[in-house]
Amino acid sequence: MSDLARLLTRAEAWLAGPGSILLMTDYDGTLTPIVDDPTDAVLAGQTREDLARLARSPRARVALISGRGLEDLRTHVALDDVVYAGCHGLEIEGPNFAFRHPDALAQQAMLWAVGDILARRAPSVSGMRVETKGLAVAVHYRHVAADEIRRVEVELARAIQGQGGRLKIFHGSKVIEVLPQVAWTKGECAQWIQERLLASLPEPALWFYLGDDWTDEHAFEVLSGRALTIRVGDTVPASKAAYRLHDVAEVHQLLALLADGVTVESRA
């Protein structure tokens, strides 16, 4: 039996009873395919509707945890009654709460200074794009020639060293992220969110956490044994996730079943 079939069977059996659902998910590469330009990563209409049905149901809670800036994430998803967590969970907003990591806020001026320096230097490297997003800076190099990528890394190192060298660097898919030096990952973020959302559900919840890259591995590890942790995309032998879905299309199948299961009309 495939992991998708196992997940569908587990969810369907759970939803046949009174139980609730807590869905925590990444955005890029999980709900939408990875694309060259992040602004083109748009939710499919049916996916948005399924998320909306989940968010509206008294039996479900939905949280999106992304490396995007919080406002960028909110703009792309454009749904009420969900929790948005941007910058890998450093900034969180829900219907009844808001959080900015205090240690990250203390380093925001340093981050923005790095972003300003890199933005001024970006024209010297063709294809390099700098994005300052709240509590993080992203340096995109998808359109940088292979023999110029080293220059991107050099410019980044110089900018960080110029601010004291106290920031963290993450390497993603054709992007380098600069983050505050704080002990906070998507794992801590997911735990913070679930502690607040579970109390608002009427019945015990079946938890899901879905993600597609190594930043989600922190959440897979923290939630191991408590949530159905799901890696989306290529097989990663060292992944801490308990399940794997092949692609975004399989994620959409799971969301559709969950949305149908918690929608009152579909259970009448």
Find where tokens 């890394």 sit.
153
Contact 114, 163 (CB under 8 A): yes
Contact 201, 61 (CB under 8 A): yes
Contact 63, 77 (CB under 8 A): no
3 is catalytic: no
Contact 24, 218 (CB under 8 A): no
Distance CA 164, CA 243 (A): 41
The answer to whether the Cα torsion of 178, 180, 183, 188 is positive or negative is: negative
Contact 230, 241 (CB under 8 A): yes
Give the contacts of 17 (CB within 8 A, at least 6 positions apart). Answer: none
Pairing of strands 20-25, 205-211: parallel
Is residue 156 left, alpha or beta, with left meaning phi > 0 and alpha meaning psi from -120 to 50?
Answer: alpha
H-helix segments, the chain: 3-15, 45-56, 70-77, 102-106, 108-121, 149-162, 186-197, 217-222, 248-262
Residue 216: closest CA among 189, 195, 192: 189
Which of 26, 50, 213, 216 is catalytic? The answer is: 26
Instruction: Please list the active-site residues.
Output: 26
